[in-house]
C-alpha cells in the first residue's frame, strides 16, 4: 500500500517543520495593538482621539518643562534669560524659584545648620516603622519603635532631652501600675489607676522633674520653636503624627461602638458622629480660634500641637467607621468561636477578631491616611506655613511675585510621590495577607 | 479621654490665671520678644525672604516697636495670620500687636474691641484693565466681568460703586490675589479690582505691564494701620508713638544714617532733641528708655525710608507717595508734636 502512495505523490515530508513565529501582523506589539487599540471602528476612533489629546497635552507642557530656566535670582531675571536665549514668544518654566527656595518649601524656617535633625528623625521614623510594616525584621526592633517617638520629638524641637524622657516615664509608670495592681486589685481598678496615674504625673511632676534633672545633668541641644516649622516638614509631622495616633484611637472607638456597655457605646457613637459630621476646616478653626478663648490668656498652647490633636481626632473618627466595617464583615461564627475557647474579651479581640477585621479594612484605612495626609494642606487657612502657605509667601516676595505653576507642580509632585508610595504599600500588604479563604 | 481631661485641667487653670493678667509691656519685656501678627505673604508689605527673615512695609512697624521696647529690631516673633484668624489671634493674646494691612473701620475699632493706633498707609480700591479694552474710566465698565476677592470689603465697595453709578457688572469670584492675577491674565474677566497698592504690585509682575492700565478712580477709603487690643492703653501708647516717631523722623530729616549722630548730643532743633531723648524725658512717660525712638528709627529708618525700601518707586512695586506723602508735601501723613 505504501508503494502506491509513494508513486502517486511526488514528495512527502518526513520531518515536522520547526515551529515558526506567527506572521508579523499577528504577534508582539502589533498584535497587542490590534487587539487592544484598533479592534473595530469605535476603538480605532477612540484610540486616535486619545492619542491626539495626549500628544496635544504633552506637546504644550513638555517643552515648557524642559526649556525651564534653573539659574536666576528673580522672575524678572528668568524672563530676561528666556528672551535672550530662546526665540521670541516661547514660554519656559522658571524653575529657578525652586533652586532659590527649595529649603523653605521642604523645611520652612527651620535653622539651616540644623537641617540634619529633621532628616535624621525621618530616617529614624522609617527605621522605626520597619518592624511594624515588614514581618521579616526581628521583633526586638519593636523596642526601638516604642522609644523612637520621644527621640524624634527631641530631634525636631530640641531643648532639654530630659523633657521627652520624663514624658516617656509616664508611660512606664502606667505600665508598672498595671502590672503591679492587675493581679491583686482586679482589671478595672488596675486600668483606672494605669490611666489616671500617668495623667497626674504629666500634669504636676513631669515638668519640674525635667527641669531638676536638667540642672543636675545638663543634656540639651538648640531649641527650635514650632513657629519655625514649615513646608513639607510640617505636613509630614502633622500627617505622620495624625496617622500614628489615630489608628489605635480609631480601633478603640470602633470597639467602643460595638460594645454592650451603655456609656462607652454612647460616648463612642457621639464622638464619631460629631467629629465626622463637621468639616475638618471647622475643627481646624476651632483649634486655632475657639480654643484661644477657653485657654487662659498668656498660655501658649502650641498651635501645631492643637492642630495635630484635631487632625488625629478627625482621622480617628473615620478610621473607627472603617474598622467597624471590617468588624461587621466577620462571620458571627468567629466571635462565637472565640467565646467558646474561653478567651477573655481582649484576648479574643487581639488574637481572633482584630487580625481578621483589620486585614479586611486595610484599603479603607490607607485610603483614610492618604486623605489625612493631603488634608494637612488645609492648615494654610489658619496661618500655618505648609507648602501651600509657603508658596503664597514666596510669591509675595518681590523677586518671585507673579510665579504660579512652577511652585504648584513641585508641591503636587512631592505629594504624589508620598501618596503613591502609601497606596503601593497597601497593595503589598493586601497581597501578603491574602489567605485565600475570604 | 486623656485629652478631655487635659483640656479640662487647662481650662480650670485658665480661670484661675485669667484674673492676674499682666500688662502687655511687662509680658513683652519678660519674654524678650514681641509677638507680632503679620500677613502670610503680601508683596511689599510682608513676606519672608530666602533666609526666612521677614521684611516688608508692615513688618518694619513690628521691628520698630521691638527696637523701641527691647532695643533689638530682630527680637520679633512673627505670627503669620490670615484674614480670618487675625482678629482672634489679637483678641486672645496670642499676638501683642497686629500689623497686617488691616483697614481701620468703625466696627473693628469699637465692636471688635481693638484700638487702631494710627495709619501707616492710605489705600483705596481701584481697577486694572487691559489697555486694549480702550477704557479710560471705571464708569465705562458697564456690563464688564470683574474679578473680585470674595468675603472682603472690596466686594461690598464694588457693589456700592456700580449701584451708585447705575451701571451693571458681572462678578467673577476669586479666592486669593494670586488667583485673581491668573484669572485676569487668562482673560476670565475684563477687569480686576483690589486695593490700589495690590494692583500696582500685581501689574509690576506682568510680562508686559504696559499692556495694562490702572484706572484713575479710587472707589473706597482703606486706611491701613497697626492695631492692639482694647484695654491696655499704655501698650497702645507705645505702638502709637513708635509709629509717630517714624513719621516725625521723616518730617525733621532724621534718617537711619544720621540718627546716631543726632542722638549723641543735643542739636539745634528742640523737637528732634526731645524725640531722640537728648532733651526731656519722653521715654520715661511711656515706660521705656529715653533712647526708644532712636532705636526705632535706627531699626529700619524713618517712615519715608521704610516706604522707599519696600514699596517705593524704585522697587518693583513702584508706588508713588501720593496720599502717603508728609503733610508738608501735600499728603496725609502727619505726626502730632513730640512735647
pLDDT, tens digit, for every residue of A390-418? Answer: 888 888 888 888 888 899 999 999 999 98
pLDDT above 90 covers what percent of chain A? 28
* Confidence (pLDDT) at A24: 80
Dihedral sign for Cα A276, A282, A285, A291, please: negative
What's the pLDDT band for A345 if we cut at 50, 70, 90? confident
Whole-number Å distance between alpha carbons of A213 and A168: 14
Residue B169, strand partner residues: B144
Pick from B1, B3, B17: CB nearest A298: B17
Domain boundary among B160, B185, B220: B220
Same domain for B117 and B190?
Answer: no
**Beta-carbon separation of B77 and A227 below 8 A:** yes
Dihedral sign for Cα B4, B6, B7, B8, please: positive
* Confidence (pLDDT) at A49: 95
- Confirm whether B116 is domain-assigned: yes
* Confidence (pLDDT) at B16: 37
- Confirm whether A83 is domain-assigned: no
Which of A173, A392, A399, A406 is the best mutation test for B, with the most CBs of B within 10 A?
Answer: A392
Same domain for A270 and A408?
Answer: yes
Closest-CA distance of chain B to residue A328, Å: 25
- Confirm whether A133 is domain-assigned: no
Same domain for A211 and A238?
Answer: no
Specify the higher pLDDT residue, A57 or A288: A57
Same domain for B208 and B169?
Answer: yes
Is A298's pLDDT higher than 60? no
Find, among B64, B77, B79, the residue nearest to B28 by Cα: B77
* Confidence (pLDDT) at A249: 92
* Confidence (pLDDT) at B12: 39
Closest-CA distance of chain B to residue A158, Å: 18
Same domain for B184 and B229?
Answer: no
Domain boundary among A171, A205, A221: A221
Same domain for B112 and B129?
Answer: no
* B334 C-beta neighbours (distance < 10 Å), count: 14
Domain boundary among B168, B201, B220: B220
Q: What are the residue ranges in chain B where pLDDT is below 50?
A: 1-21
A313: cell is 481626632
* Confidence (pLDDT) at B73: 94
Find, among A401, A395, A93, the residue nearest to B315 by Cα: A401
3-state secondary structure B42-89: ECCCEEECCCCCEECHHHHHHHHHHHHHHCCCCCEEEEEECCCCHHHH
Pick from B3, B43, B176: CB nearest A401: B43
pLDDT above 70 covers what percent of chain A? 95
Specify the higher pLDDT residue, A54 or B40: A54
Whole-number Å distance between alpha carbons of A107 and A120: 13
Same domain for A169 and A270?
Answer: no
**Beta-carbon separation of A297 and B39 below 8 A:** no
Give the chain A residue nearest B177 (alpha carbons).
A392
* Confidence (pLDDT) at A296: 67
What's the pLDDT band for A50 if we cut at 50, 70, 90? very high
Domain range for A176: 160-221
* B72 C-beta neighbours (distance < 10 Å), count: 15
Same domain for B185 and B270?
Answer: no
* Confidence (pLDDT) at B286: 92
* Confidence (pLDDT) at A57: 94
Average pLDDT rounded to a whole number, residues A91-116: 90
Average pLDDT rounded to a whole number, residues A331-356: 89
Establish how many alpha carbons lie within 13 A of residue A432's alpha carbon, considering only the half-sphere containing its beta carbon. 11
- Confirm whether A337 is domain-assigned: yes
Dihedral sign for Cα B193, B194, B197, B201, please: negative
* Confidence (pLDDT) at A56: 95
CATH number at residue B148: 3.40.190.10
Q: Contacts of residue B9 in chain A, CB cutoff 8 Å?
A: 203
Task: Say if A123 is an interface residue toward chain B (CB within 8 Å).
Answer: no
* Confidence (pLDDT) at B151: 67
Domain range for B55: 25-122+224-329
Q: State the burial class of residue A407 (Cβ atoms within 10 Å of its Cβ: 0-12, 13-18, 19+).
A: buried
Average pLDDT rounded to a whole number, residues A175-182: 85
Q: Residues A64, A92: contact at Cβ < 8 Å?
A: yes
Find, among A392, A368, A370, A369, the residue nearest to A380 by Cα: A392
Tell how far CA A89 is from the center of its chain. Answer: 42
Task: Say if A191 is an interface residue toward chain B (CB within 8 Å).
Answer: no
* Confidence (pLDDT) at A3: 56
Give the chain B residue nearest A299 (alpha carbons).
B14
What's the pLDDT band for A299 if we cut at 50, 70, 90? low
A 358-387 residues with CB below 8 A of B? 380-385
Same domain for B211 and B250?
Answer: no
* Confidence (pLDDT) at A435: 62
Average pLDDT rounded to a whole number, residues A61-73: 90
Average pLDDT rounded to a whole number, residues A357-369: 87
Closest-CA distance of chain A to residue B267, Å: 39
Average pLDDT rounded to a whole number, residues A334-339: 90
Instruction: Identify which of A218-222, A241-245, A263-267, B9-13 has the greatest average pLDDT.
Output: A263-267
Q: Residues A388, A380: contact at Cβ < 8 Å?
A: yes
Same domain for B290 and B228?
Answer: yes
Phi-psi region of A121 (alpha: psi -120 to 50; beta: other; left: phi over 0): alpha
What's the pLDDT band for A35 if we cut at 50, 70, 90? confident
**Beta-carbon separation of B10 and A301 below 8 A:** yes
Q: Each residue of A120-136: pLDDT tens digit?
A: 999 998 888 877 777 77
Whole-number Å distance between alpha carbons of B5 and B11: 10
Is A141's pLDDT higher than 80? no
Amino acid at each position: 500500500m505504501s508503494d502506491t502512495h509513494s508513486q502517486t505523490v511526488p514528495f512527502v515530508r518526513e520531518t515536522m517543520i520547526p515551529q515558526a513565529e506567527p506572521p508579523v501582523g499577528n504577534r508582539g506589539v502589533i498584535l497587542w495593538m490590534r487587539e487592544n487599540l484598533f479592534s473595530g471602528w469605535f476603538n480605532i476612533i477612540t484610540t486616535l482621539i486619545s492619542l491626539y489629546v495626549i500628544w496635544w497635552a504633552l506637546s504644550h507642557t513638555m517643552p515648557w518643562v524642559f526649556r525651564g530656566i534653573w539659574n536666576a535670582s528673580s522672575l524678572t531675571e528668568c524672563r530676561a534669560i528666556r528672551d535672550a536665549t530662546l526665540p521670541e514668544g516661547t514660554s519656559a518654566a522658571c524653575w529657578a524659584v525652586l533652586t532659590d527656595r527649595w529649603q523653605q518649601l521642604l523645611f520652612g524656617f527651620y535653622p539651616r545648620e540644623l537641617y540634619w535633625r529633621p532628616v535624621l528623625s525621618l530616617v529614624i521614623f522609617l527605621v522605626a516603622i520597619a518592624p511594624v510594616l515588614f514581618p521579616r525584621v526581628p521583633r526586638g526592633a519593636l523596642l526601638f519603635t516604642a522609644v523612637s517617638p520621644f527621640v524624634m520629638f527631641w530631634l525636631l524641637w530640641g531643648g532639654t532631652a530630659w523633657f521627652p524622657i520624663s514624658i516617656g516615664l509616664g508611660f512606664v509608670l502606667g505600665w508598672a501600675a498595671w502590672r503591679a495592681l492587675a493581679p491583686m486589685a482586679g482589671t478595672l481598678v488596675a486600668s483606672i489607676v494605669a490611666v489616671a496615674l500617668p495623667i497626674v504625673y504629666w500634669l504636676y511632676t513631669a515638668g519640674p522633674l525635667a527641669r531638676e534633672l536638667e540642672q543636675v545633668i545638663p543634656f540639651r541641644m538648640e531649641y527650635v520653636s514650632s513657629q519655625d516649622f514649615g513646608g513639607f516638614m510640617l505636613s509630614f509631622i502633622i500627617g505622620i503624627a495624625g496617622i500614628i495616633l489615630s489608628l489605635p484611637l480609631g480601633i478603640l472607638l470602633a470597639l467602643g461602638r460595638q460594645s454592650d456597655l451603655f456609656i462607652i457605646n454612647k460616648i463612642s457613637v457621639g464622638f464619631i458622629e460629631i467629629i465626622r459630621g463637621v468639616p475638618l476646616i471647622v475643627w481646624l478653626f476651632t483649634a486655632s480660634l475657639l480654643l484661644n478663648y477657653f485657654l487662659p490668656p498668656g498660655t501658649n498652647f502650641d498651635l501645631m500641637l492643637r492642630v495635630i490633636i484635631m487632625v488625629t481626632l478627625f482621622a480617628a473618627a473615620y478610621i473607627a467607621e472603617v474598622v467597624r466595617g471590617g468588624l461587621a464583615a466577620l462571620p458571627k461564627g468567629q466571635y462565637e468561636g472565640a467565646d467558646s475557647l474561653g478567651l477573655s474579651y481582649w484576648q479574643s479581640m487581639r488574637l481572633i477578631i482584630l487580625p481578621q477585621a483589620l486585614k479586611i479594612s486595610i484599603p479603607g484605612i490607607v485610603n483614610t491616611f492618604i486623605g489625612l495626609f493631603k488634608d494637612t494642606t488645609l492648615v494654610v487657612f489658619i496661618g500655618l506655613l505648609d507648602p501651600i502657605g509657603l508658596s503664597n509667601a514666596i510669591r509675595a516676595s518681590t523677586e518671585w511675585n507673579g510665579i504660579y505653576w512652577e511652585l504648584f507642580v513641585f508641591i503636587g509632585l512631592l505629594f504624589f510621590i508620598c501618596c503613591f508610595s502609601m497606596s503601593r504599600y497597601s497593595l503589598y500588604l493586601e497581597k501578603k495577607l491574602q489567605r485565600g479563604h475570604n | 479621654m486623656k485629652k478631655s481631661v487635659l483640656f479640662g485641667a487647662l481650662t480650670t487653670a485658665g480661670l484661675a490665671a485669667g484674673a492676674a493678667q499682666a500688662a502687655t509691656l511687662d509680658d513683652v519685656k519678660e519674654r524678650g520678644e514681641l509677638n507680632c501678627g503679620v500677613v502670610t505673604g503680601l508683596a511689599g508689605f510682608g513676606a519672608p525672604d530666602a533666609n526666612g527673615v521677614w521684611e516688608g512695609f508692615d513688618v518694619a512697624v513690628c521691628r520698630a516697636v521691638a527696637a523701641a521696647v527691647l532695643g533689638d529690631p530682630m527680637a520679633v516673633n512673627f505670627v503669620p495670620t490670615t484674614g480670618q484668624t487675625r482678629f482672634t489671634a489679637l483678641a486672645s493674646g496670642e499676638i501683642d500687636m497686629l500689623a497686617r494691612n488691616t483697614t481701620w473701620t468703625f466696627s473693628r475699632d469699637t465692636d471688635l474691641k481693638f484700638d487702631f493706633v494710627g495709619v501707616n498707609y492710605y489705600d483705596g480700591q481701584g481697577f486694572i484693565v487691559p489697555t486694549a479694552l480702550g477704557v479710560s474710566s471705571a464708569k465705562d465698565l458697564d456690563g464688564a466681568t470683574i474679578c473680585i476677592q470674595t468675603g472682603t470689603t472690596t466686594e461690598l465697595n464694588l457693589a456700592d460703586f456700580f449701584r451708585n453709578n447705575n451701571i451693571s457688572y458681572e462678578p467673577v469670584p476669586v479666592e486669593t490675589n494670586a488667583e485673581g492675577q491668573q484669572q485676569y491674565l487668562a482673560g476670565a474677566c475684563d477687569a480686576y479690582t483690589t486695593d490700589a497698592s495690590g494692583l500696582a504690585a500685581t501689574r509690576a509682575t506682568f510680562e508686559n505691564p504696559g499692556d495694562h492700565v490702572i484706572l484713575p478712580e479710587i472707589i473706597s477709603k482703606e486706611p491701613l494701620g497697626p492695631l492692639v487690643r482694647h484695654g491696655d492703653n499704655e501698650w497702645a501708647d507705645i505702638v502709637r508713638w513708635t509709629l509717630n516717631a517714624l513719621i516725625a523722623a521723616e518730617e525733621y530729616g532724621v534718617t537711619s544714617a544720621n540718627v546716631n549722630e543726632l542722638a549723641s548730643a543735643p542739636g539745634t532743633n528742640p523737637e528732634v532733641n526731645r524725640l531722640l531723648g537728648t532733651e526731656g524725658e519722653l521715654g520715661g512717660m511711656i515706660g521705656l528708655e529715653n533712647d526708644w525712638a532712636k532705636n526705632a528709627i535706627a531699626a529700619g529708618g524713618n517712615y519715608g525710608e521704610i516706604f522707599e525700601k519696600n514699596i517705593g518707586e524704585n522697587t518693583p512695586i513702584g508706588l508713588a507717595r501720593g496720599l502717603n506723602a508728609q503733610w508738608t508735601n501735600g499728603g496725609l501723613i502727619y505726626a502730632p508734636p513730640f512735647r
